Amino acid sequence: MFFCYNLLVHLAGFLLKIVAWFSPKIKLFVEGRKLVFATLSSKISTSDKTIWFHAASLGEYEQGLPVMEKIKEKFPNHKIIVTFFSPSGYEVRKNNTVADVTVYLPLDTKSNARQFLKLTHPEMAFFIKYEYWPNYLNELKKQNIKTYLISGIFREKQSFFKWYGGFYRNALKTFNYFFVQNESSKNLLQSIRFTKVKVSGDTRFDRVVSILERDNKLDFIEQFKNNTTTIIIGSSWPKDEELLIPYINQSQGVKFIIAPHNIKAEQIQNLKAQLKKKTVLFSEKENQNLAEFDVFLIDTIGILTKIYSYADIAYVGGGFGNPGVHNLLEPATFGVPIVIGPNYSHFAEATALVNIKGCLSIKNQDELNQTFDLLLQNEDERYEKGHICATFVQMNKGATATIMNYICNNQA
């Protein structure tokens, strides 16, 4: 099985180089890995102490950030190495301040794994939520490097729990300890005889709680909002916008800020063309009286979290596609009632918030219209649902402390 896996990885590496000629994203994936070993050689010496964190993409990085920050605080003499698999994570966070070195993770070949660990020689390795690369994990095990999964989540349909999943279960055997989000994940691991597992919860709650302690002020958003009830639309996709645009166009006395998932110029202009309300783009905001506009289109990245702090109502996109809705916890931590599409069952926090009625799921135009009208017209309803969201976040914080307590007491 290992032979077949390694053959497929090498084949994938070859095919990706071809696809890179036609796909800008795959080109970043391929080109970004070319200088990884040279970067590591220049930034890490053999005498350095290091700790390694791996995140698949941006979401996993944000999820692991509270632990990274605490590890950096607890081990100030260690260099922190962060690796990404996806360009959508690396390109956004390559200049982060928590890591001493941030690079792409080279493809999971035996030689890459050996070379990577030779150059980085970490004392500990943390994989965030998922991604189980057999060659890296086996090499970590061979070198007796403590390896942890944090904010892990497991589902019954995964290969680990099937009769044919022996190869994948062997990859799990390399972990020293599992910190999982829920009892279901713990029970699944125990069903295949993994006992070093603790339900720590989801570190994303710690991440979003910490946002409240930071400066979230944006002068241009305050100018646009101008003390008017405002609906923030975050990470929207075209299927979301098909329902949102008609509502925006017929609305009165309310403002909208839209931060689409895709900010390519052509799609932003197409979205703007469909809006009948007076609309301004972030990239065109200078020398404008923003208070005069009804819709603010955010054609940049990195500020949506702060924008949510100005929301009276939030619509979080992705719920009409697969795998489903985007991050609800950022608006929730600000005590904002949330509206989403119907595809949310893969996300525990979304399911929980819908069940306790802090978040409302809609399936069609009529339901969207009715839900927004209810929240806009009934201030008490809006505040109650926002309070539910904020309380939910506060009640679920603490995963980072659980993880750090174990790490600090098991260093020997």
What single string gives the DSSP state of each residue in 242-304?
HHHHHHHHH--S-EEEEEES---HHHHHHHHHH--S-EEEGGG-TT--GGG-SEEE--SSS-H
Q: Which two tokens stand for residue 119?
A: 């150059």
Same domain, 196 and 232: no
> What does the alpha-carbon distance between residue 64 and residue 29 come to, in Å, rounded to a whole number?
22
Q: What is the pLDDT of residue 301?
A: 86
Q: What is the pLDDT of residue 348?
A: 86
* 8-state DSSP, 161: G
Q: What is the pTM of this model?
A: 0.86
- Asked if the structure places residue 153 within a domain, the reply is yes
> What does the alpha-carbon distance between residue 303 and residue 287 come to, in Å, rounded to a whole number?
20
Which single residue is written with the structure tokens 């819709």?
295
Same domain, 238 and 107: no
Q: Which two tokens stand for residue 261?
A: 């998932």
Under 8 Å between Cβ of 177 and 194: no
DSSP element (H, E) containing 9: helix 2-19
- Asked if the structure places residue 15 within a domain, the reply is no
Q: Is the peptide bond before 24 cis (omega within 30 degrees of 0)?
A: no
Any idea what the CATH number is for the domain that residue 273 is in?
3.40.50.2000
Same domain, 173 and 231: no
- Asked if the structure places residue 206 within a domain, the reply is no
What single string gives the DSSP state of each residue in 199-236?
E---HHHHHHHHHTTS----HHHHHHHTT--EEEEEEE
> What does the alpha-carbon distance between residue 326 and residue 340 come to, in Å, rounded to a whole number?
9
Q: Name the E strands within 105-229.
A: 122-128, 146-152, 177-180, 197-199
- Asked if the structure places residue 109 within a domain, the reply is yes
Same domain, 378 and 241: yes
Q: What is the pLDDT of residue 412?
A: 54
Same domain, 255 and 182: no
Q: Domain containing 187: what range?
A: 28-201
Active site residue 123: no
- Asked if the structure places residue 404 within a domain, the reply is no
Closest CA to 85 of 143, 128, 137, 144: 128
> What does the alpha-carbon distance between residue 288 and residue 296 come to, in Å, rounded to a whole number?
12
Any idea what the CATH number is for the domain that residue 136 is in?
3.40.50.11720
Same domain, 174 and 270: no
* Cα-based angle 11, 16, 17 (whole degrees, multiple of 5): 105
Catalytic residue among 31, 60, 73, 156: 60
pLDDT along the chain (412 residues), means of 10: 85 89 89 94 96 94 95 96 93 92 96 96 95 94 96 91 89 95 95 95 94 94 97 96 97 97 92 96 95 96 94 97 90 98 92 96 97 96 97 96 93 62
Domains identified in the chain, total number: 2
